[in-house]
Amino acid sequence: MSDTPAIELHDVVKQFGATYAVDHVSLQVGDGEFFSLLGPSGCGKTTTLRMIAGFEYPSHGEVLIHGRAMAATPPHRRPVNTVFQSYALFPHMSVAQNVAFGLQMKGVPKHELGPRVQAALEMVRLDGFDQRRPREMSGGQQQRVALARALVNQPEVLLLDEPLGALDQKLRKEMQFELKRLQHRVGITFIFVTHDQEEALTMSDRIAVMNQGKVLQVGSPTEIYERPTCRFVADFIGETNFIEGQVVAHDGGYATIQSHDGLELRGVTPRPVSVGAHATLSLRPEKARLLTPDQAQSVQETFRLAVKVELVSYIGSDTRITVRLNAQRTLDVWEQNTRSTLDRNAYWQPGEDAVLVCPPENALVLVE
Amino acid sequence: MIQRKPARWLSQALRSYAILVYAFLYLPIVVLVIFSFTRDEFGVRWTGFTLDWYIRLFNNPRLMGAAVNTLIVGVASTLVATLLGTLLALALERYRFRGRGAVDGLLYLPIVMPEIVMAVALLACSALAFDLINALTGHVLRRNLVTVTIGHIAFSISFVTVVVRASLKHFDRRLEEAAADLGANSWQIFWRITFPLILPGVIGGALLAFTLSLDDFIISLFLSGPGTSLLPVEVYNRVRRAITPEINAISTLMLLLSITLVVLSQLAQRRR
Ligand SMILES: Nc1ncnc2c1ncn2[C@@H]1O[C@H](COP(=O)(O)OP(=O)(O)O)[C@@H](O)[C@H]1O
Ligand SMILES: [Mg+2]
């Protein structure tokens, strides 16, 4: 369409009494983007979405849709549609009537309704269900009716508030795929709210990670996972080992920290740091390697931590190993089981001595 | 603890008890219905089957007139009370306004207040209004069907409001947001979403108001004027002279109407 962002939030605040549900949030969502708001429950995702839909008005700041300020536009005049977490299907109407509702409100002529409703139901693979009542359908089917009811209006932006939250794991996976397929096909901007990091990583073009009303980081799934800019994001997305300490040196995008128990560790700095600053080293368990002391002799990697294997969990695709560094500290390392073997010696055993190695480009030094 | 089956004698005792209670409740009604078909002209003994009393009833202009009055007052007061009561329920559930707490509390007063108090109050009020109209315009007004209807409206509103409020309590406000999201304005939201979904409650409230109006005695007695009495009052006047099977017959018909209304209201609630 154009270069104007589909959605812009300029320094948006929403206060409920003394609580800041949304705290100075600025965002830009591009046209046709699949954009996710990801964060723990209560972090302000729904409130942000509701301000875009028009159910709440910002206490401060501005919401723009395709460059148009929305301050004086009530929900029914906004070019967006919402898929509610609870679906909010009209229980007294058939599936077809539910889907036709938005078109009727827009004054679409009667003879166009039938074909357009049919097309929308086909798009979500629910053709033939038009005369059912919502309560006669399964959760997954209701979810798709809600999707058809929104998409049939061809909104400029589709807002989805944890649309897969109520579905079981298998259906969820299917619907994730289905949603991506649909978004590709209709080319509409999707703003997708979820608290499930895996879901956000799989589906999104870009993700905004939120906590306590603030947006902490915006980026592609890889950026969010590989280069979190703060400890919260590193912790919330995926799993990681944290080692706290002080920056003792930095140069060219790398920094070295010294931990309280005397370890010197080096990693990438996504943000500028200064010597003496308090910092946390984040080491993803799949990015560290565990070697026998013999193997470790010949490897040129900067981290070399002598450890003892403590716990070994075989989970099929991976083996998850907890190693002890010293009396206070354990670290997690995941090894992919790339070889198919029953040989006990191919796997780590509790009590074995090992060396944990990790090149500095695989670790991160985060400052708050 | 092990839950034991109650002893045999206990369960038998319970069953007899239940039968006695229901007999206590329904025996008089059964007797009434049976004696509306008896030939005995005092209506207290069974001397054979006849439909005479029903036929006589329909040929009795006073009773028929009272029946028609009752229906007119019932329908009119139900319509007005349902409208006002529904609006009040919406206001109480949906809006915060000054004095909302007081309005909420006062809502239940007409339900618990002795009806005689309300009747006296309405009577005094109508006398006052008539005097005022007389002083201002010189017209002399008398109590008539309109005054009774107003009285019935006055006590029905609370009942309608309570019933409609119950259905609003379960109402999912997100449905209204969903409708707004799909482009409906407030008016369209109300008529397409809110109203159809609270309709069972509104119908339930209306049927309750109608039933209350049908069998109201005290307010009807106080507020109806000469020649405009309602059925319960007319029946009372006749019974003071003598119980006749005709009275049994009309009571049976009223019972039939009430049962129909109850069934209708149950059906309305179920169709959600
Ligand atoms: N209508 C409201 N009144 C008061 N507090 C609210 C209201 N809506 C949300 N909040 C508060 O705002 C915060 C953010 O809520 P929400 O946006 O629903 O979070 P999320 O969708 O991320 O779980 C929470 O602390 C919540 O309690
Ligand atoms: Mg939410």
Between CA A204 and CA B66 the distance in angstroms is: 74
Rounded to a whole number of angstroms, the distance between the first and last alpha carbons of chain B is 41
Centre of ligand 2 from the C-alpha of residue A50, in Å: 10
Rounded to a whole number of angstroms, the distance between the first and last alpha carbons of chain A is 39
Domain end call among A203, A226, A249: A226
Instruction: For residue range A115-173, list pLDDT tens digits in order.
Output: 999 999 998 889 899 999 999 999 889 999 999 999 999 999 999 999 988 788 888 88
Domain end call among A226, A260, A287: A226
Quickly state the pLDDT bin for B271 (edges 50, 70, 90): low
What residue of A is the nearest CA neighbor of B178?
A: A88
Same domain, A42 and A120: yes
Q: Which helix (H) or strand (E) holds B33?
A: helix B8-35
Hey, how many other C-beta atoms are within 10 angstroms of the C-beta on B89? 26
Instruction: For residue range B228-258, list pLDDT tens digits in order.
Output: 889 999 888 888 887 788 888 988 998 999 8
Same domain, A283 and A357: yes
pLDDT (mean) for A81-108: 95
- Distance from the Cα of B183 to chain A's closest Cα (Å) equals 4
Same domain, A256 and A150: no
CB A284 within 8 A of CB A239: yes
pLDDT (mean) for B212-227: 88
Q: Which residues contact B209 (CB under 8 A, 6 or more apart)?
A: B77, B78, B81, B82, B85, B152, B156, B159, B160
Taking contacts as CB-CB distances below 8 angstroms, the residues of chain B near A105 are 179, 182-184, 188
CB A79 within 8 A of CB A157: yes
Using most ligand atoms within 8 A of CB, pick from A9, A12, A13, A16 the residue to mutate for ligand 1: A16
Centre of ligand 2 from the C-alpha of residue A161, in Å: 7
Class of domain B53-270 (CATH, top level)? mainly alpha
Taking contacts as CB-CB distances below 8 angstroms, the residues of chain B near A153 are 182-183
Q: Would you call A84 an interface residue with chain B, using a CB distance cutoff of 8 Å?
A: yes
pLDDT (mean) for A190-217: 96
Same domain, A104 and A146: yes
- Measured CA angle at A287 (ends A284, A292), to 5 deg: 120
Looking at the predicted structure, is the pLDDT value of residue A333 above 80? Answer: yes
- Check which CATH number belongs to the domain holding A298 and give it: 2.40.50.140
Chain A segment 56-75 residues within 8 A of B by beta carbon are: 74-75
Q: How many structural domains comprise chain A? A: 2
Query: Quick one: A180 exposed, middle or buried, by C-beta within 10 A (0-12, 13-18, 19+)?
Result: middle
- Measured CA angle at A117 (ends A54, B181), to 5 deg: 10
What pLDDT shows up at residue B97? Answer: 83
* Helices and strands, number each (H, E), in chain B: 13, 0
What pLDDT shows up at residue A2? Answer: 58
Looking at the predicted structure, is the pLDDT value of residue B166 above 60? Answer: yes
Domain end call among A178, A196, A226: A226
Report how far apart, in Å, the C-alpha atoms of A1 and of each of A179, A188, B89 are: 21, 10, 48
With respect to residue A122, please indicate whether it lies within any of the assigned structural domains: yes
- Distance from the Cα of A66 to chain B's closest Cα (Å) equals 18
Instruction: For residue range B47-78, list pLDDT tens digits in order.
Output: 888 888 899 888 988 888 999 999 999 999 99
ipTM: 0.84
pTM tops 0.90, yes or no = no
Per the document, the length of chain B is 272
With respect to residue A82, please indicate whether it lies within any of the assigned structural domains: yes
* Pocket of ligand 1, beta carbon within 6 A: A 16, 19, 21, 39, 41-47
With respect to residue A235, please indicate whether it lies within any of the assigned structural domains: no
Same domain, A129 and A155: yes
Quickly state the pLDDT bin for B187 (edges 50, 70, 90): very high
Centre of ligand 1 from the C-alpha of residue A55, in Å: 13
Same domain, A208 and A253: no
pLDDT (mean) for A51-57: 96
Looking at the predicted structure, is the pLDDT value of residue B6 above 80? Answer: no
Same domain, A218 and A315: no
Q: Do B177 and A91 touch (CB under 8 A)?
A: no
Q: Minimal CA–CA distance to A190: which of A30, A75, A63, A56? A: A30
Q: Would you call A299 an interface residue with chain B, using a CB distance cutoff of 8 Å?
A: no
What are the backbone angles phi and psi of residue B62, rounded to the nearest 5°?
Answer: -65, -50
Between CA A210 and CA A218 the distance in angstroms is: 9
What pLDDT shows up at residue B2? Answer: 60
Structural domain boundaries enclosing A347: 240-368
